[in-house]
Amino acid sequence: MKLKIGVLCALLIISLATLPHTSLIFAQDAAPFRAELTVRADRPKGVINRNIYGQFAEHLGRLIYGGLWVGEDSPIPNTRGLRNDVVAALKELHIPVLRWPGGCFSDEYHWRDGIGPRDKRPRRPNASWGGVDTNAFGTHEFMDLCEMLGAEPYINGNLGSGTPQEMMEWVEYMTSDSDSTLARLRRQNGRDKPWKVPYFAVGNESWGCGGEMRPEYYADEYRRYATFIKDYSGNHIQKLAVGPHDDYYNWTEVLMSQAARQMQGLSLHYYTLPTGDWARKGSATQFGEGEWHATLVRTLRIEEFIAKHSAIMDKYDPQKRVGLMVDEWGTWYDPEPGKDMGALYQQNTLRDAVVAGLNLNIFNNHSDRVKMANIAQMVNVLQAMVLTDKDKMVLTPTYYVFRMYKVHQGATLIPVELSAPDYGMGQASIPSLNASASRDQDGKLHLSIVNLDPNRSAEITTRVTGSTVRSITGEVLTAPLMNAMNTFEHPNAIRPTQFSSYKIQDSQVTLSIPPKSVVVLELQ
């Protein structure tokens, strides 16, 4: 009998654990876990490059067309064709740098298609993602967007199907203040002063969609193309080379040994797939605790990739002159039911917020080598900040994480030491907490903490060395359900709220961090 009851209980637990949204069931009575955190305010490190908070916008799905660009004649309120609501929301994130036009699309993009009168621009098939590109959004529109957002442009050049001459002339068109034919053409097209272009990449994923190249071949091509990317009229370009994908360590080895001298950055792309299987990635919204856990396990692997690629880079560049640019990262799920496969439109839940918090903490903590990161992608595609449907817009949980974390941009990294129990499921265990800290230029100390455990809150005894904490302010992003999301019908279902669950007693700080949450605090 006892055995039967035991078996029944086990079956019940297994079936609950595989149901979606079981965190609610478990969360009710779970006792908090204890943890210790030391914030080493007396041991400041280097500066967190603000470009870690960068974004990526590709000609794909409804990102550019509909998400950002609606055209000057649209009934959707816009400024010079760019929709006002989306631009206003994005401005709040203080986006430092914006990557465009791809992605895979950059190796099929010919910049001359996207300049001059819009009604004369050619319509081209978007070979990477489907549909026809009207080219209504081109260089001038992108630069206008960057100026509206206050973001620096990061242009990804076409190595795969373009020529060094085409790349060279694009740079001249954008940045030359001379009387050359191309500078005159830019003026004729409405832009008198040249733009500054601080970042330019030579190709994208050249080991895959960018041309299926071997690292040795790409290294030679990179050096050839990079030679013709010139600095005009006081502009100074940092040149970025295509880097590895996940664990292609040989690629990094070859690029660093053969082309490090010609580059300022090496890119790295890493996507979080809940299942790790490209054929069946997992749903954006329908998942149980097993998939929650697996997603976080896979996200945390980025730390290993950064560490391993950094170790290779250290051999050739011990001064850390070349940045590791994580210029595509984020979650990638199965297409939303009823949505076009190639559009990569996906919903965004509290799980994505946790993924974002983890990645940003990891980038902060590796900011000696990680000099830029660009989440994929800004609007309506993959792990987006903003979703739009005609004239409607919603802000995603990921958006709020970027808004909360902007305090770390350009601040000085403060090391943290965490001692917390593991959050385990099946064979895999991961730390239940993750954190990073920084001190900004006004001396304010900020701490961001992610609680990965969807069931238990954390009671964290916190010590700040070299500073006395008298009060704490901040925000917390959480919700009762793991898959809490904002929809067009309920756009405010999940938003950050004020954080107040802390105690300070005789200079001892105790933070109470809810299950499945992202918290950013100012320690005063």
Q: Give me the residues that bind ligand AHR (CB under 6 A), please.
A: 58, 102-104, 204-205, 269, 328, 376-377, 382
Cβ of residue 209: shortest distance to ligand AHR, in angstroms?
6
> Exactly one of 108, 141, 172, 328 is catalytic; which is it?
328
Q: C-alpha distances in angstroms, 127 versus 62, 67, 107, 130, 137?
A: 16, 20, 10, 6, 17
Name the token pair of 268.
């790295």
Cβ neighbour number for residue 223 with a 10 Å cutoff? 16
221 included as an active-site residue:
no
Our CA angle for 337, 343, 346, nearest 5°, is 50
| Closer CB to ligand AHR, 176 or 380, in the complex | 380
Verify whether residue 328 is a known catalytic residue.
yes
Nearest Cα neighbor of 510 from 27, 35, 153, 185 is 35
- Report in angstroms how near the CB of residue 359 gets to ligand AHR at its nearest: 15
3-class DSSP state of 231: coil
The dihedral built from the CA positions of residue 100, 104, 106 and 110, taken in this order, carries a sign that is negative
Closer residue to ligand AHR, CB minimum distance, 141 or 205: 205
As measured in angstroms, the least distance from the Cβ of 148 to ligand AHR is: 23
CB of 256 closer than 8 Å to CB of 266: yes
Q: Give Cβ neighbours of residue 521 (< 8 Å, ≥ 6 apart).
A: 446, 447, 448, 449, 472, 473, 474, 499, 511
The minimum distance between CB 78 and ligand AHR, in angstroms, equals 25
Q: Which of 210, 444, 414, 246 is nearest to 326 (CA)?
A: 246
Considering the complex, what minimum distance in angstroms separates the CB of residue 472 from ligand AHR?
A: 38
SS3 73: coil
Between 182 and 325, CB nearer to ligand AHR: 325
Min CB(335)–ligand AHR separation in Å: 13
Catalytic residue among 205, 221, 289, 291, which?
205
The SS3 call for residue 445 is: strand
Segment 29-33 long-range contacts (CB within 8 Å, at least 24 positions apart): 30/455, 30/456, 30/515, 31/456, 32/456, 32/457, 32/458, 32/459, 32/512, 33/420, 33/421, 33/432, 33/453, 33/456, 33/457, 33/458, 33/459
Closer residue to ligand AHR (CB): 108 or 289? 108
506 contacts 444 by C-beta, under 8 angstroms: no
Question: What is the DSSP secondary-structure string of 245-264?
Answer: BTT-HHHHHHHHHHHGGG-S
Distances, alpha carbon 120 to alpha carbons 113, 138, 196, 358, 402, in Å: 9, 13, 27, 46, 38
CA distances from 500 to 181, 191, 384, 475, 497 (A): 61, 50, 29, 8, 9
β-bridge partners, 157 = 202
Distance (Å, whole) CA 399 – CA 404:
9
State the minimum distance, in angstroms, from the CB of residue 100 to ligand AHR: 11
* Distance between CA atoms of residues 476 and 182, nearest Å: 51
CB 94 within 8 A of CB 407: no
Q: Find the shortest distance in angstroms from Cβ 41 to ligand AHR.
A: 38
What is the smallest separation between the CB atom of 361 and ligand AHR, expressed in angstroms? 22
Q: Are 411 and 446 in contact (CB under 8 A)?
A: yes
Please give the backbone phi and psi of residue 454, each rounded to the nearest 5 degrees, phi first: -80, -5
Comparing CB distances to ligand AHR, the nearer of 331 and 457 is 331
| First vs last C-alpha separation in the chain | 59
Q: How far is the CB of 193 from ligand AHR (least distance, A)?
A: 31
> In the 8-state DSSP scheme, what is residue 151?
P
- Positions annotated as catalytic residues are 205, 328
